[in-house]
Amino acid sequence: MTARKFNFSSGPAVLPEPVLRRAQAALWDLAGSGIGILEHSHRGPEFAAVLDDAEARLRRLANVPDSHAVLFVTGSASQHFYMLPMNFLPPGATVDVVHTGVWSGKAIDEARRHGGPTAVHVAGDASAGGFREIPSTLTWSAAPAYAHYTSNNTIYGTQWRTPPTPPAGVPLMCDASSDFLSRPFDVAAHGLVYAGAQKNLGPSGLTVVLARRDLIADAGKGLSPLLRYQTYAAERSLHNTPNTFAIYVIAEVLAWIEAEGGLAAMAARNQAKAALIYQAIDESDGAFVGHAATDSRSLMNVTFRGRTPALEEGLLAAAEAADCSGLRGHRSVGGLRASIYNAMPRAGCERLAELIRDAVRRA
């Protein structure tokens, strides 16, 4: 078998090796049932046990209170850019959005498509600075129906240190796609949290949603069932056939995080991993510079540029030769991006830091 590379891709992304090994075995035979996970009915007892396990682990690990439902919604995070306004933005109402990059921009577009051109109030806007930082001052509208932010901006490598605080009583909705379960997180302070699975959780094609039951109960009445959060809550994500394999892998990833010490341990590890790479960038005497402002730096996506295109290309080539892949930055930012989610081993970050130092020495 070929050796596995360090995969710095932004998503789909690296998964923990023990999880992949268990998934390999479960493809053939799930838990001694004689049937593989891809072949089990979503209504059978074997899959019911998987679903129960995924929900119970998520509740424990992320401290999800009973007030919030755990939903496994087939489809990608982008789908929630329109499901949120469809469910929570009544005619004439306003949503406050903090604009920190491409993904919040899409949330804004979809809210306008649903509610009209005046439906969105931009409560903070990082666009003028090239999305290099998380806005430090926010101005909320008089009575927003809800507020929306993106906890980690995958493309720019910026991350909120703590969630924004909209006025009392305004539900706070979070796109946590690229840092969910990377650190302790106050679910109870949010109305709804959604995270596409393909970064820290498992395969693409599924989004985990944590939603306050009282908010979703009557929201979106009259919509097609699959567009209402309440359908997933009332039918335990089994209104239609869910992405059973993704839910299986997520349950295994959750078990792995628990075994590794939980979210506090993930946070400590992620902090140390990111520091290795940021330090190599900061000590490069300007050969490489970080894209994000220092106090907005992400622990999940490290974005940086070389002083010259040759430095960037040289580092990318050296990285490929050293089995480090997926480092080219997003087309809108350029440069390099190292996505170092929970499952990226520290050794991968050490190797990249060394490659940066080598590139500086060669320059």
Taking the least distance from each CB to ligand PMP, the nearer of 74 and 231 is 74
**One character per residue 87-106, x = contact with ligand PMP (rule: CB under 6 A):** ----------------x---
Q: Which of 7, 8, 9, 11 binds ligand PMP (CB under 6 A)?
A: 11
Q: Could you say which of 103, 160, 179, 273 is catalytic?
A: 103
Q: Where are the alpha helices (DSSP H) in the chain?
A: 17-28, 45-62, 79-88, 102-115, 213-216, 229-234, 244-259, 262-282, 309-321, 346-362
Least distance (Å) between residue 29 CB and ligand PMP? 30
Question: If binding means CB under 6 A, how many residues of this protein chain bind ligand PMP?
Answer: 11
Among candidate residues 186, 222, 179, 184, the one with its CA nearest the CA of residue 201 = 179
DSSP string, 70-98: EEEEES-TTHHHHHHHHHH--TT--EEEE
CA distance 11 to 343: 12
Q: What residues are paired with 324 via a beta bridge? A: 6
Whether 326 contacts 9, CB under 8 Å:
yes
Residues 51-90 that bind ligand PMP (CB under 6 A): 76-78
What are the tokens at 280?
A: 């190599």
**194/58 Cα distance (integer angstroms):** 13
Q: Which is nearer to ligand PMP, 33 or 78 (CB)?
A: 78
**Contact between 160 and ligand PMP (CB under 6 A)?**
no
Which candidate in 160, 179, 199, 273 is catalytic?
199
Q: Contacting ligand PMP (CB under 6 A), which of 178, 231, 244, 339?
A: 178
The sheet that has 192-196: what strands, in order across it? Answer: 68-74, 206-212, 192-196, 172-175, 146-150, 95-99, 120-125
14-23 burial code (b ≥16 CB/10 A, e <16): bbbeebeebb
Nearest approach in angstroms of CB 24 to ligand PMP is: 24
- 150 belongs to the binding site for ligand PMP (CB under 6 A): yes
Q: Is residue 177 involved in binding ligand PMP (CB under 6 A)?
A: yes
CB 16 within 8 A of CB 256: yes
Residue choice 9, 94, 100, 154 for contact with ligand PMP (CB under 6 A): 154
Interaction of residue 298 with ligand PMP, rule CB under 6 A: no
Residue 66 annotated to the active site: no
Cβ proximity to ligand PMP: between 164 and 306 the closer is: 164
Q: Which is nearer to ligand PMP, 30 or 336 (CB)?
A: 336
CB 10 within 8 A of CB 154: yes
Q: In this complex, which beta carbon is closest to ligand PMP, that of residue 69 or of residue 208?
A: 208
Q: Is 243 in the site for ligand PMP (CB under 6 A)?
A: no
The answer to whether 8 contacts ligand PMP (rule: CB under 6 A) is no
- Our finding on whether 290 is near ligand PMP (CB under 6 A) is no
Q: Does 196 bind ligand PMP (CB under 6 A)?
A: yes
Residue 98 tokens, joined: 């903090």
Task: Say which of 96, 140, 160, 175 is annotated catalytic.
Answer: 175
Please, what is the minimum distance in Å from the beta carbon of residue 195 to ligand PMP?
A: 8
Q: Known catalytic residues?
A: 103, 175, 199
